[in-house]
Amino acid sequence: MAPRGVAPILPLALALTAVAAVSWARGPSGTLWSRQGCAALGRCCPGRDPTCAARGPPRCFCDQACREVRDCCPDYARACPAVSCVVAEWSGWSRCVKPCQVSYRLRQRHVLQEPRNGGAPCPPLEERAGCVEYWSHQGVECQQSLLPALITTGSYGKEREKRGVPKKQETIGYCVQFRLGPVPGSCQQVRAPHAQWTRYLTQGHTVCVRCEWPAQDARSRRCYGDGGGAGGHQLSLWQAAGHPRCRGTWERLGQLRDCSCPEVHSLVFL
């Protein structure tokens, strides 16, 4: 016969042993020991992957969707940190895809680091901007005129190459001032970063448009659509390069040697 008080102690000792075993398996504060969790699994899976589960109990997951489902292993954030996409710098702009007509140029960048574990996705890897080239890819000057007047932001004039132009002629040019007529709402509806300038076109505002090589005609040294042959107060047409629905009319105010408009209203003929 066991001494008095021994029998009640045995069940209590067994219960304490079971609690200790569970605590040993999970570690302090509910954390997992090295034999459990994402670190032990050695995998961090994209999307929802039922096979990307760590040993239990309890069973937990190391896939990207576990954050939404809320069944991640306790060490998921440490073992599977979010890695955002990293891209390279933009390349230089290409030549116009199609010479002797309204076309577009390209610039691209590539992915250096793919996103993982819910990191930020990659931004666009290609951009396009309207342009015109007056020489074919074989170096032959284009002969046809382009109407209406094609315009783009003045910064394009600094970027484009002046192929086949003698040094002394690079600086020969002129500026034409126009007063804008009605501007369609489509000019405000633009997403491309290099077409944002069309959002500043407003009826009644004065814009300065630079005419320079290579947009000048080889014989007349004038730009197509500059309004030089129109009578006083006669309206002519313009169109934003790379944004065909952004077009309208303007009134020629006069010709100057240099442009003096604010940057957002400084344009260039194409």
Q: Is 149 helix (H, G, I), strand (E, B) or coil?
A: strand
What is the rounded distance in angstroms from the CA atom of residue 91 to the CA atom of residue 95? 12
Q: What is the DSSP letter of 193?
A: G
pLDDT of the chain along its 270 residues, tens only?
445 544 454 454 444 444 433 333 444 444 444 457 898 888 898 888 989 998 777 889 999 888 888 889 999 989 999 899 999 999 998 888 877 766 788 899 999 999 988 888 999 999 887 776 767 777 776 655 455 677 888 777 665 555 455 555 555 789 999 999 889 888 888 877 777 888 889 999 999 999 888 778 777 788 877 877 655 566 778 888 878 888 888 888 888 888 888 888 888 888
How many angstroms separate the CA atoms of 186 and 47, rounded? 39
Domains detected in the chain: 38-79 (no CATH), 86-133 (2.20.100), 149-269 (no CATH)
Torsion of CA 249, 251, 257, 263, to 10 degrees: -50
- CB of 182 within 8 A of CB of 205? no
Report yes or no: 48 and 41 within 8 Å, Cβ to Cβ: no
Are the C-beta atoms of 176 and 252 separated by less than 8 Å?
yes
Give the pairing of strands 53-54 and 60-61. Answer: antiparallel
Helix or strand or coil: residue 159?
helix
